[in-house]
Amino acid sequence: MTENKLARRIEIVLTPLLGTIMAAVTVKIQCEKIGINPDALSIPDLPRLGNAIEKALIVFVGSSKARDVAGSIKTIL
């Protein structure tokens, strides 16, 4: 779990779908895959992170739900 407020909000969005631990791990791994330190996540990073998380979620929740979640992530403030 990170102390970054944006990352925590994304974890909260993901928790109902993945559970607390998997939500935190998903944020961490997807941030790292796109070259972002989760503790330094900022608003300009949200579109790229949203896209990365969408791709990762398709297997678990289907493309429609993954797209919805990505949309939520891209507009989190």
Beta carbons of 8 and 2 less than 8 angstroms apart: yes
Q: What are 31-64's pLDDT values in tens digits? A: 999 999 999 999 999 999 999 999 999 998 999 9
**Residue range 5-27, pLDDT digits in tens:** 999 999 999 999 999 999 999 99
* Degrees to nearest 5, angle at CA 67 with 65 and 70: 110
**Which pTM value belongs to this model?**
0.90
What residue ranges do the domains of the chain occupy?
5-74
User: What is the structure's pLDDT at 76?
Assistant: 87
Q: What is the pLDDT of residues 56-73, one digit of tens each?
A: 999 989 999 999 999 999
Q: How far is the CA of 7 from the CAs of 36, 64, 69, in angstroms? A: 11, 22, 14
Instruction: Output the DSSP codes for 26-51.
Output: HHHHHHHHTT--GGG--GGGHHHHHH
What would the two tokens of residue 55 be?
Answer: 């791709």
Q: What is the structure's pLDDT at 2?
A: 74
